[in-house]
Amino acid sequence: MMNMLSRTNSALVLLLLFTVWDWLPINPLPIAFAQKPNIVYMVADDLGWGDVGWHGSEIPTPNLDKLANAGAKLEAFYVQPVCSPTRAALMTGRYPIRHGLQVGVVRPWAQYGLPLQEQTLPEGLKTAGYATAIVGKWHLGHFAADYLPTRRGFDHQYGHYNGAIDYNTHIRDGGFDWHRDDRPCNDEGYSTHLLAKEAVSIVERYAGKKPFFLYVPFNAVHSPHQVPQEYLAPFQHLEGQRKLYAGMLTAMDEAVGKIVAAIDASGQRDNTLFLFNSDNGGPNPGKVTSNGKLRAGKGTHYEGGVRVAAFATWKGHIPEGSTVSEPIHVADWYPTLLRLTGANVDQRLPLDGRDVWDSITDGKPIPDRELLINATPSAGALRQGNWKLVVTGPATREEQEDEEAPAAKGKMQIQLFDLAADPYEEKNLAAQNSDVANKMLARWREYQKEAVPIKIRPKPKAFVTPKIWGDHLTPTYSDPAALQTAAPFFAALDDSGKYWKSNEHVGKKTIVVYFYPADMTGGCTKQACSYRDAAAELSKFNVEVIGISGDSVENHQAFKKLHGLNFTLLADTDGKIAESFGVPVTRESKKVVAKVEDKELTLLRDVTAKRWTFVIDPAGTIIYRNTEVTAVEDAKNVLEVVATKSK
């Protein structure tokens, strides 16, 4: 279609055939996306290796077992020793040493999070046409608005930012922590139940209409160990925290069943990829959790801390009842899923994860497989083939959260294990295989040198818990885009199909944001061409122009080529950007048939915005708003504003 369009003065004949269908909040599924799988990625928090049915658990997990048996059990799946680093690796495809998150978790008081220069998995999946949602625990930073999930590629957010919240009150350390779309949400109930209900609603909203990435990081079965009384009845033979943990796991397994049932009811089972893993090994093994025979547990670099229960299931694509013994790291899902879905990503930062799809589907080995399990200033682990090096030593001062704690003492110890012969790490072979140990230690030290400084810090003595954690997006004024207010964050796919975020542009230039009803119409053409022709003058004032409509990426590509436009167009297909600026939108499905010379184009959209224009200065403040735009005069008026401002 693109070759059929040319920048000529040929007559553009528009046949506007408006058909009002029942309103759907999302676009009809393009043919190109019809076979892209929905992705449901579920994460358990602090689940023990031995606490799933397929590993012989005394706690029944029928729904997880059924899914695992329908696909591939990933029996050498590695994560980080604790929560936040695992999530960072999943979101970016990069080891936490690249983020400064290799030690500890992102605490409630932390003034940092997943670095903003990192590209995220949901951002990449959006370029492949996916709707994206997180339902559960974020734990990658909430101290500033740009670190919240809806600023990191998720269309929808529901759940909490911190770990260890109260399951019923949703409070952590005195601050409320339950949110919908990154604004406080007062839904009442047991968190696992609420997450299941929300996940089901996401499935019902998108299934069969648009491919979706549903990320469900449960806070179960992390402490505090709380569960409704009815879930304890089957576990009268257990005691203490183990009994509560068993009830919590039962509730989580029930939630998994509800999500799967929603997929089945939607008719999308054959087109849905299910992924599951724990974020780290079970804590307090033998008392609260079970890691089977694996050594140690959460917070360590032994297998019990970093090798977790995991599976991948997709009917017709992943062999039913299969087992994958190749070492896989959680960071591998980033490149694997982006390639699988055909994402359009210019990867700016080098990846550590590898595409492991052929290993999962066809059992192919991963050549030269090396996994960095971690590299802190004092400890870590590295796996090469079946060899595993474990380094343990006294924590450095920078690794300690307690400023008043005495300096750790002790010597560094090097351990080497042959996991093929000794999967439970019982025999240290470092002395007998010193050449292997020394080479692996040298390699591990290379990673250690590459690591950015760790970000963990003690809790400031003057820190005061906020009433609501991470409450940065609740409007403090009724007009979302009034003059002299901060411009709202906005993001969408641009006309090249790449994910465009305003916080990567605002603050560097003056930004002109103009909303227009649709492509291929007379007024919209005049408005766009006025900006095209004013490009040289606008560039003198360091201005970037952004045109926004409810049309698709494909329509924007055609419109841009037809008129030789030299600025970015964003596809606000769900109307969220228009709403964030207070621009009125009409939500009804419309079909436009446009004839260009002897070629006919059919354009579909569900959102039509009014013609409004805004100017955002380099400080991120709205300095101009025009709600009565005359298309042909728009660029001229904006030029006058920026010229006056520059004097």
Contact 26, 262 (CB under 8 A): no
Does residue 40 lie within any of the structural domains? no
**Domain shared by 491 and 579, yes or no:** yes
Given pLDDT bands bounded at 50, 70 and 90, which one contains residue 398? confident
Residue at 561: amino acid letter: K
pLDDT of residue 531 exceeding 50, the answer is yes
pLDDT of residue 15 exceeding 50, the answer is no
**Domain shared by 13 and 54, yes or no:** no
Does residue 113 lie within any of the structural domains? yes
DSSP 36: P
Of the listed ranges 57-71, 130-144, 375-389, 406-420, the least confidently predicted one is 406-420
Residue at 546: amino acid letter: I
**Domain shared by 92 and 15, yes or no:** no
**Domain shared by 128 and 226, yes or no:** yes
Of the listed ranges 24-33, 78-87, 294-303, 320-329, the least confidently predicted one is 24-33
pLDDT of residue 381 exceeding 50, the answer is yes
> What are the tens digits of pLDDT across the range 542-588?
999 999 998 889 889 988 988 899 999 999 998 999 999 999 988 87
579-595 CB burial, b ≥16 within 10 A, e <16:
bbbbbebeebbbebebe
Is 529 catalytic? The answer is no
Contact 383, 373 (CB under 8 A): yes
Does residue 423 lie within any of the structural domains? no
Does residue 275 lie within any of the structural domains? yes
Of the listed ranges 30-44, 57-71, 124-138, 428-442, the least confidently predicted one is 30-44
- What average pLDDT score do residues 347-359 get? 97
pLDDT of residue 404 exceeding 70, the answer is no
**Domain shared by 155 and 226, yes or no:** yes
**Which domain CATH number covers 127?**
3.40.720.10
DSSP 504: G
Q: Which residues contact 10 (CB under 8 A, 6 or more apart)?
A: 596, 597
Residue at 114: amino acid letter: L
pLDDT of residue 511 exceeding 60, the answer is yes
**pLDDT value for 522:** 76
- What average pLDDT score do residues 352-356 get? 98
Of the listed ranges 65-69, 521-525, 623-627, the least confidently predicted one is 521-525
Contact 291, 300 (CB under 8 A): no
**pLDDT value for 12:** 36
Positive or negative torsion for Cα 613, 616, 622, 623: negative
Positive or negative torsion for Cα 49, 54, 56, 61: positive
Q: CA 433 → CA 83, 369, 372, 428, 436, distances in Å?
A: 33, 20, 20, 10, 5
Higher pLDDT, residue 615 or 602? 615
Does residue 33 lie within any of the structural domains? no
**pLDDT value for 42:** 98
**pLDDT value for 591:** 76
- Please identify, among 347, 376, 405, the residue that sits at the C-terminal boundary of a domain: 376
**Domain shared by 112 and 9, yes or no:** no
**pLDDT value for 596:** 59
DSSP 196: H
Average pLDDT, the chain: 91
Higher pLDDT, residue 477 or 204? 204
> What are the tens digits of pLDDT across the range 175-184?
999 999 999 9
Full residue range of the structural domain in which residue 159 is found? 45-376
> What are the tens digits of pLDDT across the range 23-65?
222 233 333 334 799 999 999 999 999 999 999 999 999 999 9
pLDDT of residue 133 exceeding 90, the answer is yes
Q: Which residues contact 84 (CB under 8 A, 6 or more apart)?
A: 96, 101, 104, 105, 106, 139, 140
Q: Could you give the CA distance from residue 535 to residue 53 in angstroms, rounded to a whole number? A: 64
Does residue 546 lie within any of the structural domains? yes
- For residue 96, cis peptide bond before it (omega within 30 degrees of 0): no
**Domain shared by 14 and 75, yes or no:** no
**Domain shared by 358 and 497, yes or no:** no
Higher pLDDT, residue 19 or 235? 235
pLDDT of residue 449 exceeding 90, the answer is yes
pLDDT of residue 401 exceeding 80, the answer is no
**Domain shared by 260 and 147, yes or no:** yes
Given pLDDT bands bounded at 50, 70 and 90, which one contains residue 5? very low
**Domain shared by 8 and 66, yes or no:** no
Q: Tell me which residue of 132, 133, 122 sits closest to 92, measured CA to CA.
A: 122
**Which domain CATH number covers 551?**
3.40.30.10
Token look-up 């069969």 returns 208
> What are the tens digits of pLDDT across the range 244-300?
999 999 999 999 999 999 999 999 999 999 999 999 999 999 999 999 999 999 999
Q: Could you give the CA distance from residue 345 to residue 139 in angstroms, rounded to a whole number? A: 25
**pLDDT value for 562:** 84
Query: Which residue is catalytic, options 55, 83, 99, 563?
Result: 83
* Domain count across the chain: 2
Q: Which residues contact 68 (CB under 8 A, 6 or more apart)?
A: 52, 53, 54, 276, 311, 313
Q: Could you give the CA distance from residue 174 to residue 224 in angstroms, rounded to a whole number? A: 14
Q: Which residues contact 130 (CB under 8 A, 6 or more apart)?
A: 36, 39, 122, 210, 211, 212, 213, 341
Positive or negative torsion for Cα 69, 75, 78, 83: positive
Does residue 486 lie within any of the structural domains? yes
DSSP 305: H
Tokens for 494, please give them.
Answer: 């641009």
pTM attached to this predicted model: 0.91
CA dihedral in degrees (493, 562, 608, 547; nearest 10)? 50
- For residue 221, cis peptide bond before it (omega within 30 degrees of 0): yes
Given pLDDT bands bounded at 50, 70 and 90, which one contains residue 6? very low
> Quick one: which H or E segment has residue 638?
helix 634-646
pLDDT of residue 351 exceeding 50, the answer is yes
Does residue 223 lie within any of the structural domains? yes
- Please identify, among 341, 376, 411, the residue that sits at the C-terminal boundary of a domain: 376
**pLDDT value for 577:** 94
Q: Which residues contact 599 (CB under 8 A, 6 or more apart)?
A: 1, 4, 5
**Domain shared by 60 and 18, yes or no:** no
Q: Helix 522-533 crosses helix 634-646 at what angle (to 10 degrees)?
A: 30
Query: Which residue is catalytic, options 55, 139, 222, 301?
Result: 139
**Domain shared by 79 and 184, yes or no:** yes
- Please identify, among 352, 376, 400, the residue that sits at the C-terminal boundary of a domain: 376
